[in-house]
Structure formats: structure tokens, C-alpha cells
Amino acid sequence: MLPKKPLVGIIMGSSSDSKIMHNAAKILDDFGIIHEDQIVSAHRTPTRLEEYAKHAEKNQFRVIIAGAGGSAHLPGMIASHTIIPVIGVPIMVYNDKSDKKSEFKFSAFGGMDSLLSIVEMPNGSPVATVGVNKAANAGLYAAKILAAEFTELKSKLKRFKEKQHQSVLAESDDLKKNGLSKFVQKKFK
């Protein structure tokens, strides 16, 4: 039985990262996994980052999902402060706190800067890393990690995979039945 307390911490460097990171929360919610979500900046609140690592360990979090854009130090820095597994989410689009609400900056390297910053951690401080903006995959990976301890998640994950399988078969049947042109018109209006 899953405990009624957070098992996963979701952290992000800025509120603008929430547009991407909410996909991890949605997956965890779908699996009934309680999570705690916070903004922790590796650069603007370094002491808070260290305090958060201690908080996560004290509260027995099993996984931390950390999203960051640009130089993306948050996942690696949190990993350096804890033994809890960290899943990094490189984020391509971020807001540098400009006054214009609609003005967003894009990573200079299409998210590759964030990806490489997270995936290329030195030996001793590993961070599991998903693709750019793939927070949903981070949520799924966290569920898989937790399934080793909580067997009810194994059956939920198997049902999830079966649902994906059936969805592809249904789409393929629809494509075969209606032809590519009609399929695309119907699917991507």
C-alpha cells in the first residue's frame, strides 16, 4: 500500500519551469503517488538547495525529480547533497524573470545545453536524465523506481503499458481503414 505522504519531490529552478514540470506531477497523480513540489534555485538560493536535500532525506523521499534550463545545475547540485536518486529534466524554454509576461527566452542551444549539463555529471554524483522537456518520462521513471518497493505500482505500470499498446493498435487500424489522408485530417485538425 502506498503511504499517504510524499514519496517524490519535484523541484524546479524557476516558476516558468512549471509549464514543463507539471507533466511529471500529472503522471505521479495518475499512479496515485503523492509528491511535494517546490521551487529551489541552484544559483539564486544555494543554501535553500542544501536545506531541501536534508528535508527530502528527513521525510524519506524515495526519488527527486529536478528540472532546470540553461546551465541546468539544479539536478546535479541536489544529487551532490543527497543519496536519494535524482532524475533530471532538461528544460528548453525558460523565462529569465523579465518584466514582460509574454516574453520567453529559448535556450541558446535548443535545450542541448541543459541536457549536457545534466547528463554529463562527473563520476560520484550521477543523475538519471530524460530527454529535453520530457518531464512525463521522469514521472514514469520515478514510478518504476518505486515499483521495486511498492508492488501495487507494478500492476499499474503493466496496465499503463497495455493501454499504450492497445492505443497504437487502434490507431493503426483506423489508419489502415480510412487511409493516410483522412487519418491525418481527422487526427490533426
CB 37, CB 25: distance < 8 Å: yes
Q: Report the DSSP beta bridge partners of residue 89.
A: 67
Q: What are the DSSP calls for 60-95, one per residue?
A: T-SEEEEEEETT--HHHHHHHT-SS-EEEEEESEE-
CB 6, CB 20: distance < 8 Å: no
Residues in the chain: 189
173 is in an annotated binding site: no
Q: Tell me the one-letter amino acid at 149.
A: E
155 is in an annotated binding site: no
44 is in an annotated binding site: yes
Q: What are the DSSP calls for 129-158, one per residue?
A: E--TT-HHHHHHHHHHHHHTT-HHHHHHHH
Which residues are annotated as part of the binding site? 14, 17, 44
Which residues are annotated as part of the binding site for substrate? 14, 17, 44
